[in-house]
Amino acid sequence: MAKHVQVGDIQIVALSDGMSRLPPMFYPGLNIEAHPEILNEDGTVHIPTGCFLIRGPGCNMLVDAGLGPVSIPFPQGMPAAKARPGEQVPPLSEGGLLPAALREARCEPSDIDTVFLTHLHPDHIGWIAPQGRPYFENAKVVYGAADWAPLISSASIDDPGRRGLEAIHSAGRASPIEGDMLNIASGVTARHAPGHTPGHYVLIVSSGVHRAYLLGDAVQCPLQLTETDIGFLTDVDAALAARTREALFRELESNDHAAVGMDHFPGLEFQSCNAAGILMTCRHRDPRRRSHGDASTIEQLAPSSSAPRI
Ligand SMILES: [Zn+2]
């Protein structure tokens, strides 16, 4: 599937800032023996650090801002990725690719008028203000206010994410939001989707009858489509995150042909859904079976060579 979609007169482009190598412990509830295929040869799950560019009439919005120009080693006590012979253990997470990805999309940082942060975890805020200087000099930065206290003001004063967001505040560019179904720009609506973090939002992009959903970290892994017991280690409220996922799945089932983007889905490929349920690059045949954890209800769809027009 494509890494960009056209939603009426709005284009959405998926961009990667880098990748993380997650040991299976990041997916509580996952029976890894049943799904060895998700592991890379280094024994970890490789996930992209995704961002999205929304370009429409009067709107140049970046959704999430990557990890930034940093590399994070595996912390002590966490099972690390296996090093290749003669090589060092690779990092847990490495960022830095977003500027080149934006250039490739023919977008300058100064072109961005809005940065929307689905939530304030480090892999979503890294390019806001690296070294304390706003990177997107003309952008306001929109985020869920409920994330500030648990994730930013409680972090160490040297924390790069805290320093970056405080720089945005000092520059008068911060735009915290509360509530549900908020209009962010023409055709772009923020829906409160708490659980992964208290202030997590997803975006609904619509133009005419066309529609796309950007789900941030509300859904982390394709297996969560069929196995609702699988959570994510950094879900702040796991039970609420599971209820939010289920509610989003139900909403998507009634939105035939909507495109769906998620920050950490393999390859950052846009997914689509149809009346049979969520239809991703993996298809869900029978939504009623989702809670029974039957992985056989997922199957691959043939990749499409051109961007789907939806
Ligand atoms: Zn994330």
**pLDDT per residue as tens digits for the range 57-70:** 978 999 999 999 99
Which pLDDT score is estimated for 257? Answer: 79
Which pLDDT score is estimated for 115? Answer: 98
Q: 87: CA distance to ligand 1 center in Å?
A: 27
| Extents of the domains making up the chain | 3-75+89-300
Q: 194: CA distance to ligand 1 center in Å?
A: 14
Q: 217: CA distance to ligand 1 center in Å?
A: 6
Q: 207: CA distance to ligand 1 center in Å?
A: 27
Q: What is the pTM of this model?
A: 0.88
Which pLDDT score is estimated for 304? Answer: 32
Q: 3: CA distance to ligand 1 center in Å?
A: 18
Which pLDDT score is estimated for 252? Answer: 85
Q: Which residues surround ligand 1, an ion (CB under 5 A)?
A: 123, 217
Q: 86: CA distance to ligand 1 center in Å?
A: 31
Which pLDDT score is estimated for 2? Answer: 53
pLDDT in tens, 9-40: 999 999 999 999 999 999 999 999 999 999 99
Q: 136: CA distance to ligand 1 center in Å?
A: 20
- Domain 3-75+89-300 is in which class? alpha beta
Q: 198: CA distance to ligand 1 center in Å?
A: 14
Segments of the chain scoring below 50 in pLDDT: 1, 282-310
Which pLDDT score is estimated for 297? Answer: 27
The rounded distance, in Å, linking the Cα atoms of 210 and 217 is: 23
